[in-house]
Amino acid sequence: MPARERAYHDLKYRILEGRLPPGTTLLETEVASLLSLSRTPVREALIRLEEEGLVDVRPRHGITVRALSIEEIEQIYQVFSTLEVKAAQLTARRGISAADYERLDGILSQMERATKRGDIAQWSELDDLFHAELVALCGNPRLQGMLRQLWDQQYRARIAIAGLRPLPVISDKEHRAILAAIRAGDEAEATRLHQQHRDRADTLLLSLLRQQQGQPSGG
């Protein structure tokens, strides 16, 4: 992998996983030292990360990892969830193969076992995989590309409240119902169920973020 790609992926991973939390400020030389790379590939990586909204770059002053406000996160979810619901509708319209269904069913079974163990971290990884698989089956590359652009921002918000969320028993049931509707080719029901799921999950996430930051829960 070229040095600039290594720098980009390494930094992005550290930011998304919270190893470089919001507000972290580093000089370009410090970033290069952290990654054991020269400044040129690091500079190129930082430009990409700034374009994606993950860092602010100030010449001669280094970088600061961006912190998103609750309002910004809410706006991101309004777009992200709308696109994901559309993807579920399109997937139901196109239909899924028996192999696709077995793969998705297997992911849900693993999620249910993680819920019983109280393993939120494992459940969250599988949740990302389940939603990504549904989007991958929708047949619309432009929609998929737009969701990928927003994924990083919503992922950071989810990581931030991972330790606060209740056991996802309701989400497990909702996922089962969504998959059943998609398997049946019922796009209206798949759309309705996925919208209901996203609305509830997004409201919970925003409420937990406000709780974490000591803000009123709001609507």
What pLDDT is stored for residue 216 in this prediction?
Answer: 63
pTM of the predicted protein model: 0.82
Strand partners, 26: 63
Placement of tokens 């770059």 in the chain? 57
How many CB atoms within 10 Å of residue 38? 11
- Asked whether residue 40 carries a pLDDT value surpassing 60, the answer given is yes
Cβ(204)–Cβ(73) below 8 Å? no
pLDDT tens sequence across 67-100? 888 998 999 999 999 999 999 999 999 999 999 9
- Ranked by mean pLDDT, the top range of 12-16, 164-168, 178-182 is 178-182
Placement of tokens 């409240």 in the chain? 161
Nearest Cα neighbor of 210 from 143, 148, 161, 140 is 161
- Asked whether residue 39 carries a pLDDT value surpassing 50, the answer given is yes
In degrees and rounded to multiples of 5, residue 64 shows phi and psi of: -130, 130
CA–CA–CA angle 204, 210, 212 (5° rounding): 100
Cβ(151)–Cβ(143) below 8 Å? no
